[in-house]
Every structure is written in C-alpha cells, then in structure tokens.
Structure 1
Amino acid sequence: MIYRNKFKQANRIFILLIFILSSLCLSSCAKKEQSNQKNNMKHVKTSMIGASPAKWKMPILIPEGQGEMSKVIGWFTNQQIFYVTNLNQTSNLFLYNLLTGKSKLIYKTENPIVNVQISPSRKYLLIHSSPSSLEGLVTIIDSKGTELLKKKFPSYDLVFEWNPFNESKILVTKFAEDWSFQLFLLDTKMGNTTELNLPQPFIQWIKREEVAYLNWDQNSPSLAAPLIFKELRDEGEKTVFSKVIQFSAYRDMLMNVAVNEKETSMADYSFFDKEKKEMFRFSQPQLKKFSDWLVPFYDYSEQKKQFLTFTPFSSGDADTYTDGFELMRYDLKKGTSDLILGGLDNVPISFSPSGDTALLGNSYEKIIDLNKKEIYDLMKE
C-alpha cells in the first residue's frame, strides 16, 4: 500500500514535469514566431520604403499592338494605376504596376471609352463607352475585369456619382443635346434604374439614403446657392448652408467653398464633421469668371485627413490671370499647412490611397511625390 502511494506520487510529479517542459517549449516557439513576424514586418516596411516614386518604372510602356495612350484613370493600390488606350474604334483598360513596369489587360471594349470611374472601395469600375454620339453604354466590372452589369442610356452625355456607403447604388444623370437632364438611381445588384425627381443634375451622397446638391436658381443666376440635404425616400428637404460656391461630400466629412463675408476677393474653405461641426477652415485668393468663381482643383485623403488644392498668388480675373498656382497641403487634424510646389498650372489632382503621392494633370500624365516634392512623367511626351 505504501509503495502504491509512492508510485502515484511519483507519477503525479512526472506528469507535472511534462506539463512544465511543454509550457516552456510552447513559450519558446511563440517567442520565435513573434520574432519571425517582427522580422517579416521589418522586411515589408523596408520594401515599402525602397519602393519610392524615384524607383518606379516610368513612363508607362504600352504593350505592343495595344493602341495609343488615352489617359490614366486613377489609383488601384499605392503602386498600381489604371489607364486606357485607344486602338481604332476600340479601347483597352490596363492595370499598370509601377514597381515592375508591367501592364495587365483588364477589359476591352468594342466602342471608345469616354470615361472610367473607380468605386470608393476600389473593388469595382464603371466604364462609360460610346456606341454612338447619342448613346452611352455603362459597364460595371470588378477589379479583375469580370463583367457584372451592362446597361444602355440614350444620351448626349452621362454623369455618375457612386454611393460610398452602398456601392450597389449609383446616381446617373442623363443629358440631352439641349442640356436638359433626367436623373436615375442605378441598382447594380438588381440591374434596374429608378427615375428620381430632383431639381439639379449634380448630386452627391452624404449618407446611405441621403444626398446633397447646390440648388441654383435658373431664373435668377447668382454666384452662390443654398446647399440642400435631401432624403431620397422623403419629399422634404433642408437648407444646410445658404450661400455656397462649391462643395464636396466625403464619408467622414463635408467641405464647402464660400465667398469671404468681409473680403469678397477671398474664398473660405470650411470643413465639417458628420454632425456639421466645423473642424477646420482656411482662406485663399479667388479668381472670378464671367458668370461664377473659379474653384481650383483639389482632393482629399481620408487616410491622412489631408486636403490638397491649388492656390492662386492673387485675386483677379480668371481669364487674364497668368501668375500660376501653388500646390498647398492642409492637415485637418493638426490644423497646419505646407507648400508642396509653386509655379504650377491648375490641373486635376488625385491622392494615392496612402496619401503620400498624387496623380497630376488633365490626363493624370504626371505623378508627384508629396513628401520629397518631386514630379515625374507618367506618360511619354
């Protein structure tokens, strides 16, 4: 009986030793795994640092026999962009890798591509092609080129606004030759359209089921208009700001441009959160056109909470202004600004997903490194 108890006690000690050794082994393995993960992260970070725009493969070399460059469309990732080539009456949509210099054919159309819009999540693309001067063909594909929807719109021109809160919904404004318009809600999942009764052609989403627009009075032209919010399922509407020149709605904030009340030669850029609380504001000189104000091109990086825009050196008449523009970057979180470059033209600009670089130019023919403040040619001249 004594020997049996001693045997049981020894057995328990042996099992306890096994458990302790196993725990030590697992702990050691976990530390090695964490060390490997840290090394991998260091490698990824090093690769990202090494992949600066100065080392990118530019300008774009179009694959042989694939037509002539039409334009760059926009960013897919921080090192990949979409571009379009034209060949006779057809167009090709390519994905270009800036690190490798290789192009991948994503989609080919039988008609010339008018424009391509990348969805806010960058998962889908809307291709607007033109079978004739009075017809537009809308094709929705995923980023791999798989066709999801095709729909024709008898029209002279089309304007699109993708819902960032529900990407299966797209606002489509259809213009006739006399610039009269109809507004439709395209449901890409159901494949149908619903006509909307809204007084203005240029609409933006501010919520999943709510839109905003500037309510211009066609009978009494003015330089500013009230900014209206409207629920699509409700007849009512509300005026949020009374005098706005231009606005842009983003997922996390609203920006509007208005004439400075004390100095009309200056424009106020105001930024509001979703509760309409002002987050940041700055003023800059503005240029007047014949019937409205010139609002220079701009873009917003949701990733960095930064705003990029062109600033004229002085106020005056837009038609006679020749002094060029400064490219300014505003940090909405820090409330700071810095000059990127001066002596530039006022041209479209588009932040990369990271906010470290941007496409620049009427055809996005250049790339600018916003940190090193250097510009590179993306297209051959």
Structure 2
Amino acid sequence: MFIFYKEVIIELVRNWIYVLMVLFLLAGCNSHQPFDISDVPKSSNKNVTKGPLPSEFLGGNQQLQPLDLQGEEFNIVGDWYDDESILYVIDENGTSTIYRYHLFTGERELFFKTNAPVLTMKANDDHSMFLIHTSDSQNQVKLTVVDKSGNIQYEWQMNSFDLFYSWNPYNIHQVFVTSFLEDWSFQTHLLDIKAQQTTKYEVFQPFIQWINSNTISYLKWDQNALDFFAPLYSYHLNTKTEGLLFENIISFAAYKDLLVTYELSKGEDSVAKIGFFDPEKNKQLHEFKMPLLSDYSKWYIPSSDYVVGQKKFYSFKPYSAGAFDTYGEKFELVSYDMSTGKEEVILEKVDDQPLNFSPNGFLCLYGFQFEKIIDLKTKTVEDLIVY
C-alpha cells in the first residue's frame, strides 16, 4: 500500500499546498495489441542539435508584457486561452476571479467568477472549453466546465477529498474524473459535456490517460510491494476489457496520437529508454535515452509536454544519473522531434518545473504557478507574473 499512497500524495500535494494557504489567510479503437518495436531508429547524444525555430513564430515581432499583480492575491495561471492569451486566477475573500490576459497588448478582461477558491483548471484539446476545479471545504469539490465565452456548460459537485481528471484528446466533450476520499479510496467517472451525463466506471487504478477515443491506460502497481516497475494496461470503456501493453514500465505519458513510455535501458545503470509510439498504428516511432535520478522508492521523471502541431515532445533532462536528493546540477530542456528523430537542446542549466506549451508550441508557461514563460524563439525565460 505504501507505493499507492505515495503516488497519490505526490499527485495531489500541489493542490493542498494552496488549500493550506487559503485556510491560513481566511482564519484544489482498441489498443490491446502489443506494439511493434522493430526497425526503430535509436538516438544518441551525437544527434543533438541546436537548430532554428520556424520563421512563422507568432510572437516574433511582439514584446511580452509582464502582468503586474502586486497588491493582488495571485493564485495560478490556469491555462492557455489561445496562442497569445492566458487565463489567470486571483483570490479574494474565499472566492476566485479568472481573467483573460493578452500577452502582447497587456489587455485583460473578466472571464469567470467562482464562489469557492480555484484549485486547478485545464483546457480541453482544442481550447474550446475549460474545466475549473473548486473547493471551499475539505471534503466538497465542484467541477465547472465553461466555454470560451465563460458560459457554464456543465457542473458537477461531489463529496471528495480531492480529484484527478483527464480530458479526452480524441473527444473534446469528455473528461475522465477520479474522486478520492480521505482514506484514499476512490471512484472513477466519465463526464460527457455534450450529452450532459456522468457515467461511473469500475477502473481500479486512479491515474489514467487516454490512448484513443474510447480506451484509457494506466500503470498497474502492486499495492503490497515496493516496486520500481509496473505493467502498462489499456482498458476499453465500451467493452470493459483490459489488455496488457507493456511490462516493466517506470512511467508513461499519453497525448493525442502519441504514447510515451519510460523503462530501464538494458545493460546500463540508471539510464532510461524513452519509447515513442503511435497508439493508433501500434508502432514505435523513435527511441531516446536519458540519465535517471532515483527518488527513494521510485524513479524521478522530469516534467514534460507534447506539442501536437509540431510533433515535438519536450522534457527536462538531468546531466547525470544518481540520487535525486543529492543531485547538485540543474537540467537542460530538450525536444524530441517525432518527424525527424532528432533531439534538440532548448535551454541549459535550468530548474525542472512544470511545463505547459501554447497550442502552437512557440511559447511555454513554466513554474509551479506557471508564473514564468519560455520564449522558444529566443530560448530565454522571462517573468510573466510580477507579484
């Protein structure tokens, strides 16, 4: 049970750091077949380049306007509204206000107000809807889905200690939700915004990711063992059948048309083999290697993101392997191109913190509150929020 508890706690700790702050201030296709990994090009460090970005970079001739929030209670930058605008959250007296802010004109406008503090928010795949997760008590949460005009499309309130959710990138109206109780027991539901309905599913792993329009995937950890590896399974929501995809996986990530797996490289100590797969064709695209850091009872996996339009996977990468708590170096931010198979260094000697790329991939929110921004054209990091 230790592994399960630890994974849940790590997943939820960012939300509850904020909750504690608020309370203090006032006194959240079938893919069961195995993947074909034959004839996959292997990468090496010799393939690392520092190439130019496309000339059509959207912000090329525009200057970023930092957002001055001094004197206001800044919560988080919630997500991208579009390629040039963000949605950010301000708290006041137990409520939250979400504003839209244009990065280059400096214009801001009211987007949505909530009656409880915002814990998290996330856009669907085409950024036509935004899921807002709020809570004003320890065991009550609310999910509100709004459209691009801030109009409510769906609301769902439940008894829950916290939530994990995942938009379906293949169906923009669906989101899978896992709700936790205080004893870390959980329930799983599929919310269909278009159909205005919620369906309960008996899925026995809480942290799922989508690999096609009706199939989710998850690592099946042994809750009674301190394992570094787990098998990766798929679960078909229509047929309610489970299938083994991979064995001995450290971690994985799934995006629209891309499945990323992490496993130990055979014959190499503390080196991860990162496999990139086309989930529709069940075929491996490329393979790269990365030094691994160990973190007590598991491997430490750096922050990452994928830009569908560029077909590029971005990840922080440690300079050397070892123990995470004694690792004294910074990280480099690299991209892996699914079209060419090339690895490119974007930033050097930076901290590993969460990433959230704009839809076109030319700018990236960066930081634990997404308070900074990475300019992919100049390969620089700037302060987005001044507070």
Tell me the TM-score normalized by structure 2: 0.82
In structure 2, give the amino acid aligned to 1:268.
K
Instruction: Note the alpha carbon deviations across 1:8-30, whole angstroms, 9 max, x for none.
Output: xxxxxxxxxxxxxxxxxxxxxxx
Deviation at 1:53, TM superposition (A): 7.7
Instruction: Note the alpha carbon deviations across 1:21-78, whole angstroms, 9 max, x for none.
Output: xxxxxxxxxxxxxxxxxxxxxxxx99x76843861211x135x99x421111221222
Relative distance call for 1:53 and 1:87 in structure 2 (3 A) is farther
Aligned to 2:234: 229
Equivalent-residue separation in structure 2 for 1:53 and 1:105 (angstroms): 27
Relative distance call for 1:53 and 1:116 in structure 2 (3 A) is farther
Equivalent-residue separation in structure 2 for 1:133 and 1:365 (angstroms): 26
User: The residue matched to 1:92 in structure 2 has which SS?
Assistant: strand
The alignment of Structure 1 onto Structure 2 pairs a total of residues equal to: 333
Instruction: Note the alpha carbon deviations across 1:319-356, whole angstroms, 9 max, x for none.
Output: 11121111112212111122112111110011211212
Instruction: Indicate if the aligned counterparts of 2:134 and 2:142 stay in contact, CA closer than 8 A.
Output: yes
Aligned to 2:184: 179
The one of 244, 253, 256 equivalent to 1:251 is 256
| Greater mean alpha carbon deviation, residues 121-130 or residues 227-236 | 227-236
Are residue 319 (structure 1) and residue 325 (structure 2) matched? yes
Equivalent-residue separation in structure 2 for 1:109 and 1:88 (angstroms): 11
Instruction: Indicate if the aligned counterparts of 2:145 and 2:154 stay in contact, CA closer than 8 A.
Output: yes
- In structure 1, stretches of 5+ residues that fail to align are 1-44
User: The residue matched to 1:319 in structure 2 has which SS?
Assistant: helix
Deviation at 1:281, TM superposition (A): 1.0
Relative distance call for 1:205 and 1:227 in structure 2 (3 A) is same
Are residue 308 (structure 1) and residue 314 (structure 2) matched? yes
The one of 161, 166, 169 equivalent to 1:164 is 169
Question: Larger relative contact order (C-alpha < 8 A, sep ≥ 6)?
Answer: 2
Aligned to 1:31: none
Equivalent-residue separation in structure 1 for 2:78 and 2:213 (angstroms): 26
CA RMSD of aligned residues (A): 1.9
User: The residue matched to 1:93 in structure 2 has which SS?
Assistant: strand
The one of 335, 339, 356 equivalent to 1:329 is 335
Are residue 212 (structure 1) and residue 205 (structure 2) matched? no
Equivalent-residue separation in structure 2 for 1:191 and 1:356 (angstroms): 35
Task: Describe how 1:347-366 pairs up with structure 2 within 5 A.
Answer: 347-366=353-372
Instruction: Note the alpha carbon deviations across 1:101-128, whole angstroms, 9 max, x for none.
Output: 0111110011111111111110001111
- Structure 1 or 2, whichever has the larger Rg, is 1
Are residue 57 (structure 1) and residue 62 (structure 2) matched? no
Equivalent-residue separation in structure 2 for 1:311 and 1:271 (angstroms): 16
User: The residue matched to 2:349 in structure 1 has which SS?
Assistant: strand
Instruction: Indicate if the aligned counterparts of 2:94 and 2:136 stay in contact, CA closer than 8 A.
Output: no
User: The residue matched to 2:145 in structure 1 has which SS?
Assistant: strand
Instruction: Indicate if the aligned counterparts of 1:299 and 1:349 stay in contact, CA closer than 8 A.
Output: yes
The one of 254, 263, 266 equivalent to 1:261 is 266
User: The residue matched to 1:77 in structure 2 has which SS?
Assistant: coil
User: The residue matched to 1:206 in structure 2 has which SS?
Assistant: strand
Equivalent-residue separation in structure 2 for 1:260 and 1:173 (angstroms): 32
Instruction: Note the alpha carbon deviations across 1:155-214, whole angstroms, 9 max, x for none.
Output: 000111111122222111010111111111122234332221111001111111111111
Aligned to 2:373: 367
Task: Describe how 1:1-381 pairs up with structure 2 within 5 A.
Answer: 51-52=59-60, 55-58=63-66, 60-62=67-69, 67-273=72-278, 274-381=280-387
In structure 2, give the amino acid aligned to 1:321.
Y
Equivalent-residue separation in structure 2 for 1:262 and 1:49 (angstroms): 42
- In structure 2, stretches of 5+ residues that fail to align are 1-53
Instruction: Indicate if the aligned counterparts of 1:131 and 1:137 stay in contact, CA closer than 8 A.
Output: no
Equivalent-residue separation in structure 2 for 1:54 and 1:187 (angstroms): 39
In structure 1, give the amino acid aligned to 2:65.
K
Tell me the TM-score normalized by structure 1: 0.83
User: The residue matched to 1:201 in structure 2 has which SS?
Assistant: coil
